Structure 1
C-alpha cells in the first residue's frame, strides 16, 4: 500500500488555518522585537549598575571577565541582536 495515509502539508490547510498561522507569526515577530528592545535596555541598565559598582572601589566592583554581571550583559546583548536580526526591518 503506497497511498498517502495522512493529510499533511500546505495543500491540506484551510484558509482559516492559514490565517491563524499568519496571525501567530505576526504576533511572534512583534513580541520578538519588543523583547529585543527590552533585553537591550536591561543590558544597558546592568552595565550602568556595574559602572556604579566600580566607582565604589570595594568588593562590589566588576574585576573579572567571568563575573556573572558581565556574562549576563553579553548574553542579553547576544540574544537581543539575534532577535533583531531575525525579526527586525530588513533594508
Structure 2
C-alpha cells in the first residue's frame, strides 16, 4: 500500500526547464534590447530638455504675474507654480544624471 499525499504543499515542485538569462539570448534579442535602451535614453534626454523649457516658460509667466501687482502674483513657498517648477527641475536633473552620459 502506497501513500499519495493530497495536500498541495507536499507535492513536488516542478523545475524550470526554459532557457532564460543572458547566456540564452539570441543576437536578435540582444540587438532588440540595445535598440530599446537607446530609444529610452534618447526619449529621456528629450524629456529633460522639454521639462527645462517648460520650467523656464512657467518662470517667465510667474514673473509676469508678479509684475501685474494683483492677486495673480506669487503667494510664497506654497505657490503651486513654484512647487511645479521645483519638481520639473528635480526630475529633469534626475533624467540627465541617469541618461545623459
Runs of 4+ deviating beyond 2 Å: 1-6
Please tell me whether Structure 1 or Structure 2 has the larger radius of gyration of its CA atoms: 2
SS in 2 for 1:52: helix
Number of aligned residue pairs: give it. Answer: 89
Answer yes or no: is 1:79 the counterpart of 2:91: yes
SS in 2 for 1:61: coil
Which residue number in structure 2 is paired with residue 59 of structure 1? 71
Superposition RMSD in Å: 1.5
Work out the CA distance in 2 between the residues paired with 1:59 and 1:12. 64
Which residue number in structure 1 is paired with residue 55 of structure 2? 43
Deviation at 1:4, TM superposition (A): 4.8
Q: TM-score, normalised by structure 2?
A: 0.82
Q: TM-score, normalised by structure 1?
A: 0.90
Say which of 24, 31, 39 aligns to 1:27: 39
Work out the CA distance in 2 between the residues paired with 1:44 and 1:11. 47
Structure number having the greater helix percentage: 1
Q: Deviations over 1:42-76 (max 9, x none)?
A: 00000010000000011100122111101100010
Work out the CA distance in 2 between the residues paired with 1:67 and 1:7. 54
